[in-house]
Homo-oligomer: A and B are copies of this chain.
Amino acid sequence: MEVTRKNYKDCLNTVYSAIEEADFLAIDGEFSGISDGPNVSALTNGLDTPEERYTKLKKHSMDFLLFQFGLCTFKYDQAKSKYITKPFNFYIFPKPFNRTSPDIKFICQSSSIDFLASQGFDFNKVFCHGIPYLNQEEEAQLREQTEERRNQHANGVGTPSFISPSSSKGSSHVPEEHKDFINKVVEKVEALLEKLHLTQTFPCLCSDALAWFPKGLHVETVETEKKERYIQISKVDEEERKRREQQKLEKEQEELNDAVGFSRVIHAISKSGKLVVGHNMLLDVMHTIHQFYCPLPEDLQDFKEVTMCVFPRLLDTKLMASTQPFKELITNTSLAELEKQLKENPFKSPQVETAEGFPSYDTAQEQLHEAGYDAYITGLCFIAMANYLGSFLTPPKAYISARSKLIEPFFNKLFLMRIIDIPYLNITGPDLQPKRDHVLYVTFPKEWKTSDLYQLFSAFGNIQVSWIDDTSAFVSLSQTDQVQIAMNTSRYAESYKIQTYAEYIQGKQQEKEKQTTKTWGEDSWVKPHYTCSTTSGFGYSRYSCHECLTCWVFFSHVKNVHLSCAGAESTPKLFEVPEVW
């Protein structure tokens, strides 16, 4: 179902009840770009730490706009033995609520826009009919302003129809050069009042000028379709005036709800506490929080906490497909390819049916990169993989619910693109800390190319180069004992410099501490804090072997035993064997 500003209000209850009844939700976002600075290989360095990756994405991705949001709800119908889906495709645009509300600026990246254009994306639906939104602070501010006006009204203070333009300092005074004009308008109104009951419009005046008008008037700002603004002045008796003022306040309240707009859908998803499935969803989660809740925190740990408040249960199908037992069976984890492979043996196409009144997607038509469609097939992928896990049970089960313990090991682990040795960001616990003692941090003149690095390390056989920027890269050696040799040979080098990975991390840490001290020194600095409005009741923390999230099956009732985790760094901790088994 396509949802724009035009039909948004009519759809809202349908969206709410779809979320309420669902077993799980799938989401996807389309953005106006990916990186405003580094190219993709620098943005996703193979040896980023989770902190570095988060910091880079926050810095270089968040000024783009999430302008299409796909939500597909999945509800299992026991009688039909199939999922009933309700797909929604929302168009989002930060239409300013009024002339004093924040005027959002966002970046567009030509290649991303061009890519979406080639997929048939409708930009007019975004820019002309996109649903507005407010983050929590903006919403609170607006509600406060409205409340203030309501109180003024109750106390009988004249209520100009303007929201006081608090951001524009010059407004609380009538400029000298306008006084003549205002006096003329006031005179004209007074003269007319003598003779008639009428409504008259004038070019817009600043709000302070309204105080100059005689009593017994209802004053209202009207805006034409062409964005020309007028003040409409009507002569009314006291009762009628009060009725109109009341009407105006009610209208304002409704407009305020409209301004919160799409954020209400995200609030509903959040409150439901339902499992939210996405494919390679880190950026989707970051954008959603950034746009509809609050600016992203500096610190990764704080981000994890906010994420748990907004989305208490997440599952990333790209991470799931990259982990045992799927890893060996799936060669390409891109969404489109994954969806195709999960139709083939040993997997089974999930049984789904689109709910009545919803246009149904046809996977043969591949409407990829429409957020609603992508959310839909992400859900299909999840179902196919979840059901596959059921085949390991004794007796095997064809349907595994979104609430099954079998799926829990995949919860709240978001796929990390292109990091060699850390497959996911662990939202509910500390991240994996792989040893990187075979890695060197090399700095060199900006003329150097990859071939220069291969040349430099030619004595060491196979190496792997991960570019950081123009003048630095990580070089992974194949054997750890080569590190000392490389360090020794480089001691007298002038054109380049080598550090061990440990030295590099230490240096970064020290730099960060220096900055933090400095920041604390400034008076205006306040540590951001977040309050969790939805409690998940889901506060377990458990470590899994990162090679194989499902290595817990090692200890359980299943037939197929996966042993590769034996030598892994972190010991998997077993949860209780669930009763349902």
Q: Which residues of A contact B (CB under 8 A)?
A: 32-33, 36, 39, 41, 65, 93-96, 103-111, 113-119, 121-124, 126-128, 167-173, 176, 225-227, 449-451, 454, 462, 464-465, 467, 470
A168 contact set on B, CB distance < 8 A? 39, 41
A94 contact set on B, CB distance < 8 A? 110
A-B CB proximity, top 8 nearest: A117-B128, A123-B123, A104-B110, A103-B111, A123-B127, A94-B110, A173-B450, A170-B450
B122 and A93: CB pair below 8 A? no
B173 and A454: CB pair below 8 A? yes
Give 15 A-B pairs besides A41-B170, A122-B124, A173-B450 with Cβ atoms closer than 8 angstroms.
A41-B168, A93-B110, A93-B113, A94-B110, A103-B110, A104-B110, A106-B108, A107-B108, A116-B127, A121-B127, A123-B123, A123-B127, A123-B128, A170-B467, A176-B464
Q: Is the interface of A mostly helix, strand, loop or mixed?
A: mixed
A41 contact set on B, CB distance < 8 A? 168, 170
Residue in B closest to A449 when the chains form the complex, CB atoms: B169
Known contacts A167-B39, A173-B450; A109/B103 CB under 8 A: yes
Known contacts A449-B169, A451-B173; A95/B114 CB under 8 A: yes
B172 and A449: CB pair below 8 A? yes
B108 and A108: CB pair below 8 A? yes
A450 and B110: CB pair below 8 A? no
A462 to B124, CA, bound (A): 49
A225 contact set on B, CB distance < 8 A? 118
Residue in B closest to A128 when the chains form the complex, CB atoms: B117
Known contacts A96-B114, A127-B123, A450-B169; A107/B109 CB under 8 A: no
* Complex A-B: 10 CB contacts under 8 Å: A33-B105, A41-B168, A103-B110, A106-B108, A106-B110, A113-B127, A115-B227, A117-B128, A118-B226, A170-B465
Residue in B closest to A120 when the chains form the complex, CB atoms: B128
A214 to B106, CA, bound (A): 49
B111 and A450: CB pair below 8 A? no
A118 to B226, CA, bound (A): 7
A454 contact set on B, CB distance < 8 A? 173
A467 and B169: CB pair below 8 A? yes
A477 to B433, CA, bound (A): 66
